[in-house]
Amino acid sequence: MMKSTAAPLLLAACAAHANPLQARSSGVQGFDISSYQDTVDFSGAYGAGARFVMIKATEGTTYIDSSFSSHYDDATSAGFIRGGYHFAHPDSSTGATQAEYFLAHGGGWTNDGITLPGMLDIEYNPSGSTCYGLSASEMISWIQDFGETYQSKTGRYPMIYTTADWWSTCTGDSTAFSEDYPLVLAQYSSSISTVPGGWAYQSFWQNADSYTYGGDSDLWNGDENSLQTFAKGS
């Protein structure tokens, strides 16, 4: 789903504070984008039934996506529920530092009903060791540092985007986040085979690396009313 400045990579799905939902191929259509998508047909996507957009905001502590503001404004004007995501670099600074950077550049959340909680894109290193040189326990601590900092500022835990393989490899399939952090699961297939980390289900599923109107395809695991409830945080 999310794109690093170094190379296109996968993103993942989020688990929500809602009634348990089953992994399924139906749901509300959405998509994710970054500056890799110069132009996006927001009105066409909305007309086709898409209702949410995840937009890259930041990466590490040195990169602000050049298209974030325009994408965010255009998505809002078209009527979408939208939110920002941060591509993590756990080898470059603390989780807290990167959460603060994300929050300072578009990654915040409010309960206005049209804003998704921020998403932490934590996945394969685009330019080095798969796990950024961190042990499983160090990676878990880094993610907790990011998440607790984000929650302390917004009142809401961020979503975690990842793949089942990366999560198993780099966190030892940690179950430490399954209760509080919604899962955005990246798995390009016609159905979901593995939900990692003790999550009972994914909240969002990045099911394909292309979407007709721009970016990657994502599905909310529920109906439009439950998506609106999720955005509201109630």
Q: Which of 65, 121, 216, 218 is catalytic?
A: 121
Q: Which residue has the tokens 């191929």?
A: 25
Does the annotation mark 179 as catalytic?
Answer: no
Question: Which token pair is 39?
Answer: 């132009």
Q: Residue 144's CB: how many other CB atoms inside 10 A?
A: 16
Distance between CA atoms of 107 and 120, rounded to whole angstroms? 10
Question: Which token pair is 87?
Answer: 């591509």
Report the phi/psi class of residue 214: left, alpha or beta, with left for phi > 0 and alpha for psi in -120 to 50: left
Q: Which of 32, 100, 216, 218 is catalytic?
A: 32
DSSP string, 16-78: -SSS-----S-SEEEEEE-TT-S---HHHHHHTT--EEEEEEEETTTEE-TTHHHHHHHHHHT
Q: Which of 65, 100, 123, 216 is catalytic?
A: 123
Does the annotation mark 32 as catalytic?
Answer: yes
Helix or strand run (H / E) with residue 99: helix 95-104
In total, the chain counts a number of residues equal to 234
Question: Which token pair is 40?
Answer: 């996006």
Does the annotation mark 100 as catalytic?
Answer: no
Catalytic residues: 32, 121, 123
